[in-house]
Copies of this chain bind each other. A is one copy, B any other.
Amino acid sequence: MASTLEEVAKLAGVSRSTVSRVINHSPHVSADTRAKVWEAIEDSGYQPHAAARSLVTNSTRIISVIIPEAVTTLFSDPFFPLLLRGATDACNTKQYHLMLSLFTDPAERQEMYRRVLYSGLVDGVIVASNPLDDPLIPDLQEDRIPFISVGRYPDQHVHYVDVDNVGGARMATEHLIRLGHRRIATIAGPQDTVAGQDRLKGYRQALQARSIPVLDELIAEGDFAEASGQAAGRQLLSNRPTAIFAASDMMAIGALKALRNGGLQVPQDVALAGFDDIPAASVIEPGLTTVRQPIQRLGSLAVEILVSVLDGEHAADCPTHRVVLPTELVVRASCGAAW
């Protein structure tokens, strides 16, 4: 189990170098020797010592997923587990390991930054749910640490993967338009996040494409959480929309409560659509029409791209990867569609 190269070498009657070559699949070993060595490896249950190997190769095959602030909304939403699921799947097949870094306060992050990144503990980093004004990405760039962002990032040289937030929001809004609605309100997400911005953009695009005026009075802003959706719903009520597109399911659920409190029925009086397709969306009454995102794929793709960058290691001449995955409209009862 805890044997060393040297011991395996003795067992196989060859030198340490030869065993190393076999382990690393070097072609310069005769078939006989190779077989002999493999046998010795099997017999001894040998496994290379990770630290020793890292020390000389200068690579740990560990990728860190950094979530700068342990965003509370992440826990009412399976985004986070699904992302990790996808990422670990990809890591398993690529023979990499996943390290998880969550932070509550910035001091903690600074501390981690030194400990994890400067100590050579990880080969690369996946940054998820990073607020636009966070210094993390600039820091990573400056220190030339390979990374990829989950979520669009407005910089020429940053690799990222994202879901098509604009397209998803447009689809949902178009769907409401197609059902005959013209006074369509939106509860936008926080405008300091890319997702919040993009979903509002999609809403705007859909209206503009049909020459429906975009009215400020029909746009409220929330923070993706339920309470903010309820507040926004209450506020929008007085402007009498016939439909509401909320930029998150939790806000849609909040809005649903506000509408009910205001004596309005969904979908009879007001149609409702959300974004995310959280588990609760299919469970509430009426079922919530929403936009589904391929989050697990997002996670695996992030790993795959990062690994390709890491393995390629042609540093400068490697093109920037930017992948946007399509979203999918899930029609349920809340929009009042027969479809």
A interface residues, Cβ below 8 angstroms from B? 1-2, 45, 47-52, 54-55, 60, 62, 70, 74-76, 78, 80-82, 84-85, 88-89, 92, 95, 97-104, 108, 111-112, 114-116, 118-121, 143, 226, 250, 253, 278-280, 283-285
Contacts and interface: CB of A to CB of B under 8 A. Distances in A.
B81 A75 contact: yes
A146 to B, nearest CB: 15
Given A80-B81, A81-B75, A85-B75, A112 B99 contact: no
Contacts of A284: 280, 283-285
Contact of A115 (B47, B112, B143): B47
Contact of A285 (B54, B112, B285): B285
- Report copies per complex: 2
Contacts of A55: 49, 51-52, 55
A87 to B, nearest CB: 8
10 contacts: A1-B118, A51-B51, A51-B54, A51-B120, A74-B81, A81-B81, A85-B102, A88-B101, A88-B102, A279-B280
Contacts of A51: 50-52, 54-55, 60, 120
Given A49-B119, A78-B78, A226-B283, 11 more contacts: A49-B120, A52-B55, A55-B55, A75-B78, A75-B279, A84-B100, A84-B102, A85-B102, A92-B108, A100-B100, A285-B285
A189 to B, nearest CB: 18
A62 B51 CA distance: 12
